[in-house]
Amino acid sequence: MAVFKGAGVAIATPMKKDLSVNYDEFARLIDDQIEQGTDAIIVCGTTGESATMTEAEHVEVIRFCVEHVRHRVPVIAGAGSNATDTAIYLSQEAEKIGADAILSVTPYYNKATQNGLIAHFTAIAEAVKIPVILYNVPSRTGCNVLPETTVALCRDVRNIVGIKDATGNLAQTTKMMSLAQAQGVQVELYSGEDGLIVPILSLGGLGVISVLSNVAPRQTHEICAKFFSGDTAGARKMQLEAQPLVDALFCEVNPIPVKRALSLLGYDCDVLRLPLTRISSEHEAQLVQAMKDYGLEVRS
């Protein structure tokens, strides 16, 4: 059984002016996401600013999320690191807390060969019993999991179940799914690009791990639901309608625009930790217009 199917939100982490986590606002964000149809919560990912959290803080944010969600939807904990031992520690802590699965990013900065990636992810997966979803985002990590490597890991490691594909490279994704099909290997594929939800679903994807869902959870869920129900034309129409907003949400490095967008929707979510800084006035104007055009109620 898949970890989840549909639209999972790569949830932002609200913070106070003193840069501590705003757990009251985080609870409100979680509740609103679930109420509006989000199919899973992905906590402590890129959008959640996990890169600026201490290990203790990282674990506590996962703990709060799991306890607040209370099994209403699956919780997937971002638990990756460029240091294998650190990734193992975070993954084991997430499992103890009760996360339903972990999301494990490719090693960044030091990177790895494909053999190194196999060793890294195998060590992490063997240290826990819960499912592991690989996270391939070469634009951030400088490290790409090749199709052959993904298929081998899903074939050979019991609890490596799939991948969040944020390569933006549909040819690579197609090759990966072709190899999986030819070898009879199940790869649970999730889009890591909001602009490619429908194309990824058409290749056998199960859903999306989404930034867009932070501000449009019901609509992102509906894109997937329409596709799965056979209404591919309806899903395609919604995908295309969302594109200007998707572009605006990535006009600066994520999560700068989406945290500003959440603030414009009335959430106390405008604080970022350095090195991230407030969105420029030019890009904010683009974001506001895209939100309004999409039908979102923007607060002044």
Query: Using CA atoms, how far apart are residues 173 and 207, in angstroms rounded to an integer?
Result: 14
Q: What are phi and psi of 165, to 5 degrees?
A: -95, 100
CA dist., res. 130 & res. 111, Å (int): 25
Q: Which residues are catalytic?
A: 135, 164
Nearest to 217 by CA among 24, 5, 6: 6
Do the Cβ atoms of 213 and 38 come closer than 8 Å? Answer: yes
d(Cα 144, Cα 162) in Å, to the nearest integer? 15
* In the chain, alpha helices (H): 23-35, 55-69, 84-97, 114-126, 138-141, 147-156, 170-183, 197-202, 217-228, 232-249, 256-264, 281-293
Paired strand residues for 102: 77, 132
The pLDDT assigned to 1 comes to 78
Note the pLDDT of residue 205: 98
DSSP labels, 16-72 = -TTSSB-HHHHHHHHHHHHHTT--EEEESSTTTTGGGS-HHHHHHHHHHHHHHHTTS
Report domain extents, the chain. Answer: 6-231
pLDDT value at position 299?
86
* CA dist list (Å): 222 to 39, 168, 211, 213, 244: 11, 22, 15, 11, 18
Spell out the residues 6+ positions from residue 284 whose beta carbon is closer than 8 angstroms to its own: 260
Tell me whether residue 277 is exposed, middle or buried, using C-beta atoms within 10 angstroms of its C-beta: 0 to 12, 13 to 18, 19 or more.
Answer: exposed
Per-residue pLDDT of the chain (300 residues; tens, 9 = 90+): 799 999 999 999 999 999 999 999 999 999 999 999 999 999 999 999 999 999 999 999 999 999 999 999 999 999 999 999 999 999 999 999 999 999 999 999 999 999 999 999 999 999 999 999 999 999 999 999 999 999 999 999 999 999 999 999 999 999 999 999 999 999 999 999 999 999 999 999 999 999 999 999 999 999 999 999 999 999 999 999 999 999 999 999 999 999 999 999 999 999 999 999 999 999 999 999 999 999 999 986
Task: Report how far residue 127's alpha carbon sits from residue 106's, in angstroms, rounded to the nearest whole number.
Answer: 17
Q: Supply the pLDDT for residue 91.
A: 98
**Is the distance from CB of 132 to CB of 88 less than 8 angstroms?**
no
DSSP 280: P
DSSP 289: H
Neighbouring C-beta atoms of residue 235, cutoff 10 Å: 22
Task: Classify 6-231 by CATH class.
Answer: alpha beta
Q: Which residues pair with 41 in a beta bridge?
A: 9, 75
- Beta carbons of 299 and 268 less than 8 angstroms apart: no
